[in-house]
Amino acid sequence: MRKIQMVDLKGQYEPIKEQVNRSIQEVIDTTAFINGPEVHSFQKELEEYLGVKHVIPCANGTDALQIAMMGLGLKPGDEVITADFTFAATVEVIALLQLTPVLVDVNPHGFNVDVDAIRRAITPKTKAIVPVHLFGQVADMDAIMEIAEEHNLYVIEDNAQAIGANYTQKDGTTVKTGAIGHVGSTSFFPSKNLGCYGDGGAIFTNDDDLAHTIRGIVNHGMYERYHHDVVGVNSRLDSIQAAVLRAKLPLLDSYNFKRREAARKYSQKLSHHDKITVPMICDVCDCHVFHQYTLRLKNSDRDALVKHLNANDIPCGVYYPIPLHKQKAYADSRYNEADFPVTNMLVEEVISLPMHTELDDEQIDYITKTILEFLD
């Protein structure tokens, strides 16, 4: 059996090796390292794939979120609602911009932000909602967009974990995640479903004026060279990373299909056990792209299972072990523990198994057998 990895980037690289190497060498030969042809071509190809008018590449997913908020003109003291159960980058940029983070609970099934909790959290100071499509599953965007329209709020999609997922709207139309809200962001961190070989990110929008504003912000606030019209940042996707992403983008749907197939195989072997709750898999659409395959363990010692798996050469992860509202950096007297029953439960129960495009049946059999033996 091949060595089990949480993410097998080397295995994914092999089929695209010649194209990637050739493209990187061309960037080196032309010395078009910054804003070169590869970046512009990738931008256009991603716009076409997502069905959005504007893609603005940037340096990483955290920058993408921050720049999106800057572009919307959010001001210190404005409240931004987001999920308590997610990676810290989402709340980090809210705090960095001196906005007020408002953390709310998630639902126990898909782990995405609880729509009713959003409604309860809205105040006259609320200006935006940041739904996170956690672990690759789309949040309830119809409901979130309705709330936003009702209260005149911006919706900023954190699409770092779900690029390529499709959302079927209530009118029957299908749209890519990141293209639903007023603006979306993503990360191209190497382990993402669409990952480069370093850092990278992008912002998406169908709003022409917002796109223009953001293009200046990512380039030191310049719309004309050496004319700084707004406060900006220095955040670019370099040409080498764009070349890697151009090789992978045409394969993204097949990558996501392989992840869903691996998820189904996991669930077929684990779903019968009364101590395991497997993630939802939709059989009629592709609304989940399984950036992570995350179980909930009931009446079990999750941390002991982590040690057992590691002892048997099976990597795993706990995403996430501490709620954001309990993190020292984001603790606030405004928060009441009674408002986070699901998040407080999930941090004790969740465990994520190896998930990538190169998982084979032998590896999945070994992983699931090791889990079941421990639980029995």
As a whole-number percent, the residues of the chain with pLDDT over 70 amount to: 100
As a whole-number percent, the residues of the chain with pLDDT over 90 amount to: 98
Q: Is residue 217 part of a domain?
A: yes
Mean pLDDT, rounded, for 339-343: 98
- pLDDT of 262 reads 97
Q: Are residues 158 and 225 in the same domain?
A: yes
Cα distances (angstroms) measured from residue 351 to each of 32, 41, 106, 194: 43, 38, 17, 22
Q: Are residues 339 and 229 in the same domain?
A: no
Q: Are residues 220 and 276 in the same domain?
A: no
Mean pLDDT, rounded, for 225-230: 94
Q: What is the pLDDT of residues 90-124, one digit of tens each?
A: 999 999 999 999 999 999 999 999 999 999 999 99
pLDDT-derived band of residue 285, with 50, 70 and 90 as boundaries? confident
Mean pLDDT, rounded, for 80-88: 98
Q: Is residue 1 part of a domain?
A: no
Domain count, the chain: 2
What is the residue-averaged pLDDT of the chain?
Answer: 97
Q: Distance between CA 77 and CA 26 in Å, rounded?
A: 47
Q: Is residue 329 part of a domain?
A: yes
**pLDDT exceeds 80 at position 283:** no
Q: Distance between CA 142 and CA 283 in Å, rounded?
A: 20
Q: Which of 250, 269, 300 is the last residue of a domain?
A: 250
Nearest CA-CA partner of 299 in 367, 349, 351 = 349
Cis (ω within 30 of 0) for the bond into 330? no
Q: What is the pLDDT of residues 191-219, one digit of tens each?
A: 999 999 999 999 999 999 999 999 999 99
Q: Is residue 18 part of a domain?
A: yes
* CATH code for the domain of 344: 3.90.1150.10
Q: Is residue 4 part of a domain?
A: no
Q: Are residues 261 and 346 in the same domain?
A: yes
**pLDDT exceeds 80 at position 287:** yes
Q: What is the pLDDT of residues 54-82, one digit of tens each?
A: 999 999 999 999 999 999 999 999 999 99
Q: What is the pLDDT of residues 300-323, one digit of tens each?
A: 999 999 999 999 999 999 999 999
Amino acid letter, 346 = L
Mean pLDDT, rounded, for 264-282: 95
- pLDDT of 61 reads 98
- pLDDT of 59 reads 98
Q: Are residues 34 and 135 in the same domain?
A: yes
Domain that holds residue 113: 9-250
Asked if 341 contacts 331 with a C-beta cutoff of 8 angstroms, the reply is no
- pLDDT of 273 reads 97
Q: Distance between CA 134 and CA 183 in Å, rounded?
A: 17
Nearest CA-CA partner of 123 in 143, 140, 104 = 104
**pLDDT exceeds 90 at position 249:** yes
Q: Are residues 231 and 348 in the same domain?
A: no
**pLDDT exceeds 80 at position 284:** no
Q: Distance between CA 170 and CA 6 in Å, rounded?
A: 36
Bridge partners (DSSP) listed for residue 183: 156
Q: Which of 217, 234, 250 is the last residue of a domain?
A: 250
Asked if 38 contacts 23 with a C-beta cutoff of 8 angstroms, the reply is yes
Q: Distance between CA 330 and CA 91 in Å, rounded?
A: 8
Asked if 90 contacts 189 with a C-beta cutoff of 8 angstroms, the reply is no
Q: What is the pLDDT of residues 134-183, one digit of tens each?
A: 999 999 999 999 999 999 999 999 999 999 999 999 999 999 999 999 99
**pLDDT exceeds 90 at position 363:** yes
Q: Are residues 55 and 186 in the same domain?
A: yes
* CATH code for the domain of 235: 3.40.640.10
